Amino acid sequence: MRKVDLKKLLDNLSLEEKIGQLLQVCGYYYEIEGVVTGPQNSAGFNEREIASAGSVLGIAGAERLKKIQKNYMEKHPHQIPLLFMADVINGYKTIFPIPLAQGCSFNPELVKKCAEISAMESAAAGLHLTFSPMVDLVRDPRWGRVMESTGEDTYVNCVFAKATVEGYQGTDGLNKKGRIAACVKHFAGYGAPMAGRDYNTVELSERTLREQYLPPYQAAIEAGCSTVMTSFNTLDRVPSSANKKLMRGILRDEMGFEGMVISDWAAIEELINHGVAQNRSDAARLAIEAGVDIDMMTTCYCRNLKELIENKVVDEALLDDAVMRVLQLKNDLGLFENPFKDADEKDEKTLILCDEHRAFARKLAAETMVLLKNEGILPIPKKGKKIAFIGPHTSRRWICGVWSIFGEEKDVISLEQAVRNKKIENVTFSTGCPILKDTDALELAEKDCTAIAEDNANKQVLLDEAILQAKNADVVVLSLGEHPAQSGEASSRVEPALDAQQIELFNKIYEANPNVVVVLFNGRPLVLGEIFEKAKAVLEAWLPGTEGGNAVADILFGDENPSGKLTMSFPRHIGQIPIYYNDFKTGRPYTGNKGKYFSKYIDCPNSPLLPFGYGLSYTSFEISDVMLDRDSMTCKESIFASVRVKNVGKTAGKEVIQCYIRDEVGSVARPVRELKGFHKVELQPGEEKEIVFEITEEMLRFYTIDMEYKSEPGKFTVWIGSSSQTQNGREFILI
């Protein structure tokens, strides 16, 4: 047991030792004797640098990490423990649905518990920090990383940012058992790359940045998030890792963040590629001045800061501040008292993938799925129907998303396995067409995917078998989607749609038997085209994780009633992207008017195929007109807006009641509507409840013409309903 005086410790460190605390390297360096050379050490670290690094990323396992920590501590002159960090994005070994799906649950309590379980499993495996949550607002499904966000809405992202941070960290101290530190990312604006191409330039007005993109990071900070990661992109032409105004001015001074800032992978060195630094030394100077504490995986800090400080180019006080924040985090996690924290092989055995975690993963996965269409074909009766399960995702286990880096395929329940577990009779299973081959997920390029698929000699055999099964069935469940490697980092797509061979499969199967239920496994909204028109039902299952197959089967056979709602719009056409519900007012709005000169397309409606907030259930709900307890308020008052919701169907179900507000006239153009609150309510058949939203002046604030964050008096409309297209509204006045 060791209590440390951090200030004293800092004062005792040499310049090199301090700089070492700011270096983060990959875990594999510690498991190999001697220096790693070749492509694995493309960053070019030498043995001394690796030995001096203060934190490690990307490896886990209690035995492994305890050994590394022990060896390290024995050699470290001041016995400063290493920090172990990793990307635990949607679960450690028990893999939950991808974050985009989690948002669709509209259930922050469940998402908080998911983060708690992820933290417990990770902590037992020796990890101290996860690079999560990603709270980047996303409006462009071409960008592969939309799968890591909770979607296109600021309010939803704030709610889930808070839930996730509280889930990982708890609220009673990071040193408590089962807690890990959270790292909110990527600060800032990374979710808006031009043309949806990863790492591309971001052009956002300051107003949009502040009003729509920054609040979720703020919500994470207010929830106590201990760490922030910089983003790869530029904002107003300045890369975040060199952006002093952003990282010190906005993040620290305005948003009040006091914790540690880490660069994204190699982002400091990439300042050279951005063309804002001449060389690594220049990059190191820019980043430390901007307020980046840890340099992830480059030699910029460890090889240049010493000289920069000795030559008085960089003030040593900047280094001391950064090192202090790293030491503080280590101390908050209790690592000076116990450098192994919760790493424990026995706990790993009892906790990881335990029945309770699996059961919860199944429940959460079912709650994240969105029923997009149902012409009465779902749920399928468990008896009396011949069902053909067809499609490349039917028997596949890898339905987890690329960030499930510690998850293992063998632990995942496929749809086929789930149907067999339910002992459904008269079922057949076939692949129909090959899915893109499993290669190194993160390196799979779209071009190669197509080639692999076309090369497959079995194609006709697979198709013939599937057609035969479809002909002999009453119902076909066709599982289509994306290879998990088609979404995630560096997986932007110009055509967020099903590939040609899956469309061909759908058409051939539909010809053989039109009773087709499509189940989609994918990491982004897709342009569904004819498939959506023709299918009798469409269930969006996303990439649902370890218990994904069970959750899909629960919904297909009516053991669960779907209750997810989309948190990203599904476009009708690629040309509509970016498309999002809280668009701004224009001078020539199109509302079905006759004439040409309106803000519209001449070859496609403006509206998405499926809007934000949309999702069906096996039951139906009636929502009453909006009632207001008063129709005007002053800044100090509030209005209570309410509806009565009734389950008028025959099945118990959950509905997400959503409250939207529009500011009718502002000093700048305002969004057509904005989500301000939601309640997920569970109702038995015939049951009715009142749902109340309190409208406060604070909810009506925005960045005015003078860039002041405040409300302006005037007329507002509030809508309460079951999607962003609800017309159930009433007006009120802010005096």
Query: Which position among 87, 136, 153, 264 bears the catalytic label?
Result: 264
Distance between CA atoms of residues 184 and 182, nearest Å: 6
Q: Which is nearer to ligand BGC, 10 or 229 (CB)?
A: 229
Distance of CA 707 to the CA centre of its chain: 30
Long-range contacts of 713-718, Cβ-Cβ distance < 8 Å, separation of 24 or more? 714/663, 714/664, 714/665, 714/666, 715/664, 715/665, 716/661, 716/662, 716/663, 716/664, 717/661, 717/662, 717/664, 717/673, 718/626, 718/628, 718/639, 718/641, 718/659, 718/660, 718/661, 718/693
A 10 A CB-CB count for 205 gives: 10
3-state secondary structure of 306: helix
Distance between CA atoms of residues 662 and 670, nearest Å: 8
Shortest distance in whole angstroms from residue 118 CB to ligand BGC: 15
Which whole-number Å values give the CA distances from 544 to 201, 240, 396, 402, 711, in the listed order?
31, 32, 12, 12, 41
Q: Which is nearer to ligand BGC, 265 or 702 (CB)?
A: 265
Shortest distance in whole angstroms from residue 190 CB to ligand BGC: 8
Shortest distance in whole angstroms from residue 103 CB to ligand BGC: 17
A 10 A CB-CB count for 47 gives: 11
Q: Which is nearer to ligand BGC, 147 or 319 (CB)?
A: 147
| DSSP annotation string for 35-60 | ---GGGGTT---HHHHHH-SEEES--
The residue sitting closest to ligand BGC, measured at its beta carbon, is: 131
Burial class (CB in 10 A: 0-12, 13-18, 19+), 65: buried
Is residue 296 a contact partner of residue 57, using CB atoms and an 8 Å limit?
yes
Q: Which is nearer to ligand BGC, 30 or 265 (CB)?
A: 265
68 phi/psi in degrees, rounded to 5: -60, -45
624 phi/psi in degrees, rounded to 5: -75, 170
Which whole-number Å values give the CA distances from 523 to 158, 334, 422, in the listed order?
21, 37, 27
- Name the residue type at position 85: M
Site residues, ligand BGC (CB under 6 A): 57, 87, 131, 185, 264-265, 489
Shortest distance in whole angstroms from residue 127 CB to ligand BGC: 13
Shortest distance in whole angstroms from residue 90 CB to ligand BGC: 13
Q: Which is nearer to ligand BGC, 240 or 430 (CB)?
A: 240
Q: Which is nearer to ligand BGC, 190 or 581 (CB)?
A: 190
Shortest distance in whole angstroms from residue 145 CB to ligand BGC: 8
Shortest distance in whole angstroms from residue 205 CB to ligand BGC: 24
Q: Which is nearer to ligand BGC, 140 or 489 (CB)?
A: 489
The question of whether 264 is a catalytic residue gets the answer yes
Q: Which residues are known to be catalytic? A: 264
